[in-house]
Amino acid sequence: MNLNLDHRETSDTYRGELFRKGRHRVIICKDGIQWIFQRQKKGAGGRWIAFSYCTTRESLKRVWTTRVGDYAPEIDLLPENVRGSRNG
The 3-state DSSP class for residue 48 equals strand
Q: In this predicted model, what pLDDT tens digit does every residue of 3-62 receive, in sequence order? A: 578 889 999 999 999 999 999 999 999 999 999 999 998 876 678 999 999 999 999 999
What pTM, to 2 d.p., does this model score?
0.86
Give Cβ neighbours of residue 55 (< 8 Å, ≥ 6 apart): 33, 34, 35, 81, 82, 83
Domain range list for the chain:
17-84
Burial category of 35 from C-beta neighbours within 10 Å (exposed 0-12, middle 13-18, buried 19 and up):
buried
